[in-house]
Structure 1
Amino acid sequence: MSETQPKTDKDLFQFLDGLGIAHATKEHAPVFTVAESVALRDEIPGGHTKNLFVKDKKDNYFLMTVEEHAAVDLKTIHTVIGAASRVSFGRPEKLMEYLGVIPGAVTAFGVINDTDGKVKIIIDADLMEYDTINCHPLRNDATTSIGSKDLLRFIAATGHEPLVLKVTA
């Protein structure tokens, strides 16, 4: 296990710049829940995300990024995402170890810290209908807007295969 420091938002932005991916970030008060972040909607257009960090009984980890109001059925989602069993939420320690973020700051951008490929990332198909997707830039006091296809390109550039699946009800 590597004891390297998780990458910061600045590392993330440099990585995106290196890929030639346009992105824009808006600072705001820290938000920990979708409800708290709704006030930002008028200021930040596009699809807003919520992220579920889950694991199955074989300790396979998954990060599901879905539209903020989407419902995910945790009793059946394992059949869609290829988990070995029903899933439960991953512990905060694993969230920090694998994605370099704390609860409340979970983001698709976290895969930049998963250099060992421990986490399978799934983007909900409905979210991909937005031209712009908004995610936390590894911290919850800012929102970074990125093109939906560019998000997939970013994920692939981190060594992960972005799976676009219909995971919402």
Structure 2
Amino acid sequence: MNKQEIYIFLKEKNIWHEITEHEAVFTMEELLDVEVPYPSADAKNLFIRDDKKRNYYLITVCGNKRVDLKEFRNANQTRPLSFASAKDLQEILGLLPGSVTPLGLLNDEERKVKFFIDEDFLEEPGIVGIHPNENTATVWMKTADLVELLKEHGTEVRSWHIEEAK
């Protein structure tokens, strides 16, 4: 699904969402220049894989947090981890670098990718801001709705507690 197809999909599913269109952003720092309605709900998304390219993970955390891949590996008993390639991102999620988003998991027809979401997104107000498969907009939606959409799709979803960066 592309950006417009995501918008149509959310509307057809009758899922509350707001859209902030903006210039393409590739980093959390660039997003600071964009006026957004829910700044504490900005999400950072990491697409990673194990060293054998057998297991893929999408980790979504609050934008002010850092993900320690060694800590993630230990907590989830995975093989050594690194960032997945742009080729893997395109082939598995149909996304380009800079546009990583949990909504891309709807393009994962083989359900190869496990999704981990920061537990903080589940707390009030329970909103998450993510790209609609392109980095030229942010879709704000209820975290519970996102989780439900992904589970309906067959994606394995887990919540994960991550500390704020010191």
Q: TM-score when scaled to structure 1?
A: 0.88
Contact 2:113 2:156 (8 Å CA) reproduced: no
Q: Which residue is equivalent to 2:26?
A: 32
Partner of 2:69: 74
Q: Distance in 1 between matches of 2:163 and 2:12?
A: 33
- Map residues 72-111 of structure 1 onto 2, 5 A cutoff: 72-83=67-78, 85-111=79-105
Change (3 A) 1:167 1:81: farther
Q: Could you tell me how far 1:50 is from its partner in structure 2? A: 0.6
Taking structure 2 as the reference length, the TM-score comes to 0.89
CA deviations on 1:66-96 (whole Å, 9 max, x unpaired) are 001112111221122342x121000000001
Q: Secondary structure at the match of 1:75?
A: helix
**Quick one: which amino acid aligns to residue 63 of structure 1?**
L
2 CA distance for matches of 1:26 and 1:99?
Answer: 22
Residues of 2 paired with 1:82 and 1:151: CA distance?
Answer: 25
Check 1:82–1:117 CA distance in 2 against 1; reply closer, same or farther (3 A cut): farther
RMSD: 1.6
* 1:24 maps to amino acid: E
Percent identity, aligned pairs only, is 34
Structure 1 stretches of 5 or more lacking a match? 1-6
Is the counterpart of residue 150 in structure 1 residue 145 in structure 2?
yes
Shift of 1:168: 4.3
- Aligned equivalents of 2:103 and 2:163: distance in 1? 20
Residue 44 of structure 1 aligns with an amino acid whose one-letter code is: P
Letter in 1 for 2:105: V
Name 1:65's counterpart in structure 2: 60
Tell me which residue corresponds to 1:53.
47
Q: Quick check: 2:3–2:132 contact (8 Å CA) kept in 1?
A: yes
- 1:44 maps to which residue? 37
- Contact map agreement 1:105 1:139 (CA 8 A) in 2: yes
In the TM superposition, residue 20 of structure 1 has moved relative to its aligned partner by 2.2
1:4 counterpart residue number: none
Q: What is the number of equivalent residue pairs in this alignment?
A: 161
One-letter code aligned to 2:5: D
Q: Which runs of 5+ in 2 are unaligned?
A: none
| Structure 1 residue runs of 4 or more that deviate by more than 6 Å after TM superposition | none
